[in-house]
Chains A and B, each alone.
Chain A
């Protein structure tokens, strides 16, 4: 507490003498001299308390220990006593070397070391001398120094590291600025710094050497501008090339041989021809539908070779001559590829394929190819669809409804397919010049190029009701027309038969009651499955539609028969 009399501090300047000061506090009665006295004790030799050897006369409340009374490496204890009251107000212990605060160094000066090229910075060397009171020479005190500097009137001092010598360099000062430099010291291995020396001013005037810098900056600026102009010129002159280098064009999708414009404009027929000519379309078809392979068309007929394929006959494409969606391949592949129409044909196009549309009555969808030996139902031979024997009423309005397909009635030994004439809306009235004993009706369910089941049934159900049937035609229905589901096995089995496969009586009707023999294929979907349209209410569902012998067909979702389902439909 500072209200009581207490020591305010003890200091030594040179480690040879020291002084102690005290304060009376608020005790006013003790301020008079002699009221408070200082006693000291050195622990080394003497254990009795001795009074302060010298109370300084000039300074109040100071006790001075001169050289004889100052010993280092010994601890002192001092006491502040009021003798009158016999009270010890304060006590302190210390060793002299721990209370040494050296005097400030003297003789601080500076010399210029160098100035930077730009004339903006300079370095100085600052020198000083140790305080005279400190006996450094003898080694009595080992001093270390600390230099501080700042820009004049700044509040923050820069401090440099402790230096044991008597000089120090200061680097990186700015010209045209005034600096203050000062130094202080302390005993090495001790903590007490002495007072700072007086500050000195360091200042170096800036040499006006602007001419040297001026041209350099100008040259730089002009150089940069020149380079920029060159670059711009270069870019503009080589614009195209640079565009190619930096922004390479993105390759557009390309199919070999196909003009991308074609794709855009949607000329499907040309596209179709191109696509069908692509190799890639071929192999798939063959593998997926094994039953397709069994379609063997008679290629022997030279005349046929000149003709278009069966499917074209079926659909009467070639007749119409109109460009159709369905573009078929030539004969050489037995019409296999032509079975596969990758494109979903436009319904209108399909309609146009119907013979009726073309205006030719001959474009009968029922194309039968037969060998010459087998009298067919008059479905034309080979080529001339004009001779479509199937008399259909030439002007069949609702062509769309039916008879897009022909029912394959028989197989020739040569492997040809005999198609039975298709029916019109109603029960087939086939004008059969050839009573076709063979009324093998195959229910073809295939893709668009072949007869559908419904139409096949219709064919088979050539019921007499049709007016004006010929005799031979009449016999048709009596003849058991059996619609066989056409699949590979079946075909094989019946290919041998020469005779029509007739069933005298109508076998029990298959499970599918009102399923017509033919169903118009609506479209081909992506999986090459046929989308058949449901059988319309056709009067052609002739009463005794000889569905009897139709092999049991599994219940199908109407209108949709996939090729793999065909495999299940075995007799």
Chain B
């Protein structure tokens, strides 16, 4: 009996380990001087606003990058590829609905998790995109800068979403992007042909733009629900 009790207690402790982790390890905050300080608290509403601003900016910059790349490297007849919406975008672990009605039926939890998943799925491809764009001869500096900027902002967005998840859903999630490792394989192959590699990069930019739009849409829907649940539901 004593052993059983001790084992149970031990199991309890172990199962509660993630909770302890999430509570025990506060988020590091850096103030202006760069030293680690205790994070100042922020309301959930404000945090959501900031997260949405991030997502909006990322979306706008992704669209500008796409246009820059298209103007520079894509011959005009192939501009129609843009409308095809990135058929070759890497598939997600779980499908994301496309219609408004379906999206409206998604729960908050799934909205946040979808956003998080989207953000995490693009971290490595963006790094890959930076290196490949830097190899172009005529890549404009604006394009390179924007790509870098997006890559940095994506990290902040991930952090914000994590905090939101914790606050809104009361969940502690250990971040892990291991499930997305396989998504890079299509991009790691170096194609010897120039046009093919250009088109592949172009497709990458289009896909990213689409996913950024998704992030923004989900977050805005979430906000709508937070403020006024009734008007945001499907009619």
Interfacial residues, chain A to chain B (CB-CB below 8 A) = 15-16, 43-45, 67-68, 70-75, 93-95, 97-99, 135, 137-140, 142, 188-190
Contact = CB atoms under 8 A, between A and B. Distances in A.
B177 interface: no
B23 interface: no
Residue among A70, A98, A99, A138 with max Cβ neighbours from chain B (10 Å): A138
B84 A75 contact: yes
Contacts of A70: 99-100
A43 B221 contact: no
A194 B217 CA distance: 21
Contacts of B85: 43, 73-75, 94-95, 98
13 contacts: A67-B100, A70-B99, A71-B99, A72-B99, A73-B214, A74-B98, A93-B83, A95-B85, A98-B85, A137-B228, A138-B104, A138-B221, A138-B231
Contacts of B104: 138
B85 to A, nearest CB: 4
B98 A73 contact: yes
Interface stretch (B55-63, B119-127, B145-153, B178-186): B55-63
B96 interface: yes
Contacts of B99: 16, 67-68, 70-72
Nearest to B104: A138
Contacts of B200: none
B82 interface: yes
Contact of A188 (B60, B219, B223): B60
Interface size class of B (residues with CB under 8 A): 20 to 34
Given A73-B210, A73-B214, A189-B60, A137 B84 contact: no
Q: Is the interface of A mostly helix, strand, loop or mixed?
A: loop
B101 interface: yes
Contacts of B224: 137-139
A91 B140 CA distance: 35
Given A93-B83, A98-B82, A189-B63, A72 B98 contact: yes
A73 B101 CA distance: 14
Contacts of A189: 59-60, 63, 209, 213
B220 interface: yes
| 5 cross-chain pairs, A with B, having the tightest CB-CB distances, nearest first | A139-B220, A71-B98, A95-B85, A75-B85, A189-B63
Given A73-B85, A94-B83, 10 more contacts: A67-B101, A71-B97, A72-B99, A73-B213, A75-B83, A97-B213, A137-B224, A139-B223, A189-B60, A189-B209
A142 B56 contact: yes
A562 to B, nearest CB: 85
Contact of A139 (B60, B84, B96, B221): B221
Given A139-B224, A140-B217, A142-B56, A94 B101 contact: no
Contacts of A135: 100
A152 B57 CA distance: 38
Contacts of B210: 73, 95
B131 interface: no
A93 B84 contact: yes
B38 interface: no
B207 to A, nearest CB: 10
B98 A140 contact: no
A142 B214 CA distance: 12
A310 B185 CA distance: 128
B206 to A, nearest CB: 9
B87 interface: yes
